[in-house]
Structure 1
Amino acid sequence: MIPLEHPILLASFAHIDRTVGLHNLSPQEYAIARRVIHSTADFDFLHLLRFAPDLAKAEFDPDLPENQVIANGEKSLRQGQTIVVDVNMVKQGIQGLVQRTFNNPIQTAIDFAPTATPGKTRTETGMDHCITQFPEAIYVIGNAPTALLTLCQAIAVGEARPALVIGVPVGFIGVLEAKKTLSTLPCPQIRVEGNKGGSPVAAGIVNALLMLACQEC
């Protein structure tokens, strides 16, 4: 059963649709962009979201429609894949809809690190533990660029094989570097270009994927 959307949310979506008008995104890409715009009231995200590698049929299921990154993300959610988030704010933003849909386990990296390893942040330390325990999870990073960079390094050497990486940390220090590193990897990914991002953006992307996955059921 597809969870019912609140009437206020639907009215907000209608307002966004009228404001956006014509666009070049696929229906699935736009569904994600619209949810992010709703979460942030920032229409820049219509142009900042990146879905890669798009339509790489040699690496994805050729029978899935349109954007293969999104389609495979939906499939992983329907199959109950673990979701690893960097901070609790992302978890708070997705757990309600997760529980109403596929009830995927949610793990929070920072909870795995009561204290940080010397020279590392807590999220970076926690991400190390999550990679070891959940190498094929869906990884959602909305706050900590150090956590994203740690994940990218693990992917590069084959220690992590995530079903999907949502890499949207926000800020100025280390953010551009972490996103650029992610962009060079062949793993399925949804990211935001530039300094913008954040936990509401990360949660919005996951919630949009959950609704798309429900519609495909």
Structure 2
Amino acid sequence: MSDQNSTTPRVFIARHGETEWTINGRCTGKSDIPLTANGVGQVRGTGQLLVGDRKLIDPSKIAHVFCSPRQRAQSTLDLLLGDSQKDKLVKEGKITTTEDIAEWDYGDYEGVTPHDIRALRKEKGLDTDKTWDIWTDGCEGGESAEQVRERLDRLIQSIYNIQKPHMNGGAAADVLIVAHGHILRAFTKRWLKYPMEFPFTMMMEPGAIGVMSYAHHNISEPAILIGMGFPQNS
């Protein structure tokens, strides 16, 4: 499926499959919630369609993988790549497990729905003149938006360092990130150089894949790839 003539490196962002807390909308940060059977099926379906030789995500073209430490992300990575491809990348030193792409630390709001968070904050006398917004208010006992921005910017700089030498061809330098819905939306904002509070509404289904790249083969112009063609394989 992949365009073999493409020379601009890409960053694939993969959200883990469904968990029980995904179903009921509870904020899931550090809690190690496993995938449901349906979540496993979601990721397997994505992998079968999009991951493999000459497909959208071609493991032979991956320069590095960054994965959240949480088991739902680790399981998703295993399902996407399969044992043989993952083992090969591990032996090549191309897989990094890092807290830089772990889910937002929700602190006191862990396991609570956004609706109930807003109610709890109102009871405490917070947000009397506005509605709670994680992008500006952060989480009590957890991370602020600034703390999340700092770790994402550090990760993005690492990706730049990997991909900058390959902006006009040469060795394949795609990057795969496997993580969580909220942190991947935050990553997208920072990839596009938007401030965390920028009102950029995004959705990402469990088991979904998003694609980032660069405009004009320029490391200084990170972009979101909102559409791409799928040339016929020969």
TM-score, normalised via structure 1 length: 0.31
**Taking CA–CA contacts closer than 8 Å with sequence separation of 6 or more, which of the two structures ends up with the larger relative contact order?**
2
More helix by share: 1
The structure whose Rg is larger is: 2
